[in-house]
Amino acid sequence: MDQIERKNKGRRKIKMAKMEKESNLLVTFSKRRSGLFKKASELCTLCGVQIAIIVFSPGKKVFSFGHPNVETIVDRYLTSPNFSSPQPNNNSNINMLEAHRSAKIQELNAEVTQVTTQLESEKKRGEALDKMRKMNQNKCWWENNVSELNLAQLQHLLVALEELKIDVAKEAVMGASTSNQIVPYMGTYNDTYPGSNIFNNL
């Protein structure tokens, strides 16, 4: 009983030592490196600081994140590791550039947030659809996975689907021919007629 319960119940605390399985290690590296850069980016936006992060991959490639860029931070540190040399704030050109950059960043941040929330809601919708299908499978045998059906059911389904296919094709053809008739006349009407807005995207 205990063994079954322990199979990955959500997030589990992992051991802080080099991972044993190489495949897991590579996946972990990829995910955590990405998450690390994300946190660094957020810190820059929220607190207006300058950061450089350098990460060597298990395959000896190097990943780096830098704000405003990696080279200036690295060089700055290498020349004087002990001092935060004050940034020149009197040059108006630099300030303009900084302002422009941060406006762009703001835009991009907003876009990421927007797309991510959309993605999350679509994922939820997908889960809801799965759940509904699963519920239906109890009542309707034909909604079960194809691999769960017996030969008679499959043949039954095959014929029913073929018939439906014909009906759909018939309906589609008729729809296509009627819309071809109406569209050319759109220009001759002064007032739009009820329902004419459905052709607005043609």
Q: Which of the residues 52 through 91 are near other proteins (CB under 8 A)?
A: 52-58, 61-70, 73-74, 76-78, 81-84
Task: Report if residue 159 touches other proteins, rule: CB under 8 A.
Answer: yes
What amino acid is encoded at 100 in this protein? H
CB of 3: closest distance to other proteins in angstroms?
Answer: 25
Helix, coil or strand: residue 172: helix
CA geometry: angle 191, 194, 198, nearest 5 deg: 100
Piece of 5-13, 91-99, 165-173, 182-190 that binds other proteins (CB under 8 A)? 165-173
Contact with other proteins (CB under 8 A): which of 134, 175, 185, 186? Answer: 175
Tell me the C-alpha to C-alpha distance, in Å, between residue 43 and each of 10, 48, 67, 154: 28, 7, 10, 57
CB of 197 to other proteins, least distance (A): 13
Assess 39 for contact with other proteins (CB under 8 A).
Answer: yes
Please tell me what DSSP assigns to residue 49. Answer: -
Q: Which two three-digit tokens encode residue 103?
A: 């406006």
Q: Which stretch binds other proteins (CB under 8 A): 4-12, 90-98, 118-126, 188-196?
A: 118-126
Cα Dmax for the chain? 83
Cα–Cα distance between 151 and 164 in angstroms, integer?
20
Q: Which of residues 180-199 bind other proteins (CB under 8 A)?
A: none
Considering only 154, 186, 193, 196, the residue that binds other proteins (CB under 8 A) is 154
Size of the site for other proteins (CB under 8 A): 116
Q: Does 20 bind other proteins (CB under 8 A)?
A: no
Evaluate whether 25 touches 9 at the Cβ level (below 8 Å): no
Q: Minimum distance from CB of 36 to other proteins (Å)?
A: 5
The answer to whether the CB of 12 falls within 8 A of the CB of 21 is no
